[in-house]
Structure 1
Amino acid sequence: MTTLKHRLTTGLAAFAALALVAGCGLPRPGPNQSEIFAGSVLREGDSFVLVVDDRVNAVAGVTPAMAFAQTFQGAGVLGSDTIQPGDLLQITVFENVDDGLIVPTGANATALSEIQVDGSGFIFVPYAGRIRAAGNTPEAVRRIIVESLSDQTPDPQVQISRVAGDGQTVSVVGGVGAQGVYPIERPTRTLTSMIARAGGIVVEPDIAQVTVVRGGTRSTIWFDDLYDHPSADIALRGGDRILVEEDSRSFTALGATGAQTLVPFESQTISAIEAIATVGGLSPATADPTGVFVFRNEPEAIARQLTGIPDLQGTQRVVYVLDLTRPNGMFFARDFAIRDEDTVYVTEAPFVQFNRLISALTGTLGAVDAVRTTGSGSSD
């Protein structure tokens, strides 16, 4: 009778402990596979869950390219002596007549000093009128003045030089050896030569980005592309702002991996396999290789291609599934490109949660039995 009572008490205690554990929930690093799939639009959620294969990789596994705007690449190289608004010019006019048009009587030349180029880019020269100076070289302005005076005085000779003014300058800031404002001179008329003039880059070249701001246009390119693609070495313009900075992209690693952390990109592209390796790989004790997930917000155009739904509107939540145990599963993961702000999550193997449940249950039953024994002893 005592044995039966003991078994009944133990069974009731086990049932109560199991109910308690199931109701309270066990600690775990995140959702399991079933819970993730429940978030699909095909069930009760609002995300598209897609198994990664060659077709999915062709659409989603591409890293967006960076390139300069076409207006940047189509601009020709400027001369280093191009005149700008605000420059001060000195003009000297020579005449071969006694009664000159501009030159005083008894002299053969007159100097028109400190003629300032106005905000519209023009100067005024007596008898020659209003002349466009900005954007021209001193030689071009000289020819214009000579042509204008030739109808009024025989064979005029003109000298012109810039005596003051900023000329053509650019600013270089960020990850370079010497930040500052630099003039566009004959050796520094292109982007790479100007970066070299500023001391070169001081960040890792593989993840260095170069941004050029010109007026209202801003374009960014990888530093390595300046040398891989000669057309990217654009000609500079006065007022350009050049920023060199380290790649700021990152992804988040969670779940049954070697580390759960925010991971900066260490190269221009990183695959799902490389992302997992970066955080120490899959945990050999807990990870489920059939449950590697990548969470991403996909733009409308890509989401439409992936789902085949032509009327999707706006950014869509997409969950990519990587099963490393499938035939070619490792290749699919190797070809899948991780993008900025992705979340890489690895689920735990089912037996891990089961073992955790059993451990919790065993511990609870042990505690219950100890209480029962103590109670029995007290009654005696």
Structure 2
Amino acid sequence: MLLTGCNSLPDSGPTEAQVNHAQRDPKKNTVGYAIVQISPDLITLLESEAPPQFSNLDSGNVPVHQNRNDTIGPGDVLQVAIYEVGSALFSPPAMGGMPTTSSSSSSTTTNSTMPSTSTRSSLPLLSVDGAGNITVPFAGQVHVAGLTTSQAVEAITAQLKGKSQSPQVMVRIATDIANSVMVYGAVQHPSRISLTPNRERILDVIALAGGQDHPAQAHEDYTVRLTRNGRIAEMPLKTIEIDPQQNIVVQPGDRVQLTFQPRSFTVFGASGRVTQTQFTTPTLTMAEAVSRNGGPIDSRADPNAVYVFRFENADILRRLGMPVDQNATTAPIIYQLDMMNPASFFLAQKFMMRDRDLIYIANSSSNKFYKFFGLITTIISPGTSMGGIAR
């Protein structure tokens, strides 16, 4: 009767024995999780699985375009101005003097015309086509893709020689598409940012897009995703701010996405409180996470069984020797920490928490007995008190 009464009492979660039994039972373990003890070797393995860094994208990567940010490319729009001396090809010459007439003829003929100093002609905006060419009147198609504005001036001038008198050409990139990056997501002004020979960096283009859209929120909750030549790397905004090596120079064609997603972890079981808690710091250890929620309760918790439930990288699980589906990128796992072992407190300071981790502090196996005993005491106590009063 005592055992039956204990088992019928409600509880906040399983004990260590129940967790282990469920893991071995295929009917209960339908997701295929495993239980792994947190050890120094495990922490070393997890630390070796660092996410791709921006500096890794920058090093050993040959850019598609020459990284000077001043070359012309398809899609750019150019503003071209041509200065001419004397007889102008692109505009009628200014009349510098009055025509003279001959006395032997009734017709008026121009005897001399004083040349003007120069005339300026601004051509309509010219778009660079997919082949990298622009069309200039009297010069035809001129290939400008891959050229700087100075080199484009020389190419257009060479085409106009012999057709215009001493042409002087000026070229400016009015709309720069080739030397630009897309900045979007949780920024105040998502837009295409044109790069300059100053060589802007990640934080520069984010600032040019207005910065994060929630300035009051912690920078740790913003993630920067950089896409370059088919490769993707993600990193917290705060990490880029404190590590200059990660604030790399952006290249034409990069895509920078800023994402606002507060990181959090959840605590269940025999802890001081059951809650969802945000990180608020760039990194968070397991020791810090447990302490934020009051730690295990002495009267209820089993300190031998403190668990972290996580969807882990499939490569890590394969290196741990666990069977994982070949096409899977993540798989469930439970990490267990024995807090009765003093060495585990050192491990808890090295084990790093991740977004959406779940900490479960198992109930003690004797917890139900004390609950049942307390229930019996509560039931008997009023009768005992009434008996005493009667006597």
TM-score by length of structure 2 reads 0.72
Look up the SS of the partner of 2:336 in the other structure: strand
Aligned partner of 1:139 in structure 2 is 150
Structure 1 Cα separation of the partners of residues 127 and 140 of structure 2: 13
1:254 aligns with 2:244: no
1:70 and 2:54 matched? no
Q: Partners in 1 of 2:166 and 2:218 — Cα distance?
A: 58
Instruction: Report the residue type matching 1:28 in the other structure.
Output: D
Residue 163 of structure 2 corresponds to residue 179 of structure 1:
no
Cα distance in 1 for residues equivalent to 2:363 and 2:182: 52
Whether contact under 8 Å (1:83, 1:137) holds in the other structure is: no
Task: Call closer, same or farther: CA 1:62–1:336 in 2, change over 3 Å.
Answer: farther
- Partner of residue 26, structure 1: 9
Aligned residue runs from structure 1 range 53-202, under 5 A = 53-60=39-46, 64-68=50-54, 70=57, 74-75=62-63, 77-79=67-69, 85=75, 87-92=77-82, 94=84, 111=121, 113-120=123-130, 121-134=132-145, 136-150=147-161, 152=162, 156-162=166-172, 164-165=174-175, 172=183, 179=189, 181=191, 183-185=194-196, 189-198=200-209, 200=211, 202=215
The whole-number CA distance in structure 1 between the counterparts of 2:298 and 2:92 is: 96
Note the C-alpha offset of 1:334.
1.8
Kept in 2, the 8 Å contact 1:84–1:135? The answer is no
Gaps of 5+ in 2: 94-114
- Of 309, 312, 320, the residue aligned with 2:335 is 320
Structure 1: 5+ residue stretches without partners? 1-14, 374-380
The answer on 1:281 being equivalent to 2:264 is no
CA distance in 2, matches of 1:132, 1:320: 62
| CA deviation map 1:94-129 (0-9, x unaligned) | 378x6x887878776573510421442421124543
2:218 and 2:70 mapped to 1: Cα distance? 31
For each residue in 1:68-92, what CA deviation from the matched residue of structure 2 results, as whole angstroms up to 9, or x when unmatched?
A: 3737965464446856625242231
Q: Is the 8 A contact 1:191 1:236 kept in 2?
A: no
Task: Please say if 1:235 is aligned against 2:250.
Answer: yes
Q: Secondary structure at the match of 1:285?
A: coil
What residue is the counterpart of 2:20 in the other structure?
37
How many angstroms apart in 2 are the aligned matches of 1:216 and 1:311?
A: 26
**Closer, same or farther: CA 62–270 of 1 in aligned 2, 3 Å:** farther
Count of paired positions: 347
- The 1-side partners of 2:81 and 2:371 are apart by 90
| Percent of pairs with identical residues | 23
- Shift, 1:342, TM fit: 2.0
Contact 1:226 1:233 in 2 (8 A): no
Residue type at the aligned position of 1:132: H
The answer on whether the counterparts of 2:138 and 2:163 sit within 8 Å (CA) in structure 1 is no
Q: Which moved more, 1:86-95 or 1:67-76?
A: 67-76
Superposed, 1:265-304 pairs within 5 Å as 265-304=279-318
SS at match of 1:244: strand
Per mean C-alpha deviation after superposition, the further-off stretch among 179-188 and 284-293 is 179-188
What per-residue deviation string (whole Å, max 9, x for no partner) do you get for residues 113-172 of structure 1?
Answer: 10421442421124543223355432221111233445x469853322348546666565
Give the letter for the 1:114 counterpart: P
1:297 and 1:318 in contact (8 A); partners too: yes
TM-score normalized by structure 1?
Answer: 0.73
The alpha-carbon distance between structure 1 residues 22 and 134, as it changes in their structure 2 partners (threshold 3 A), is same
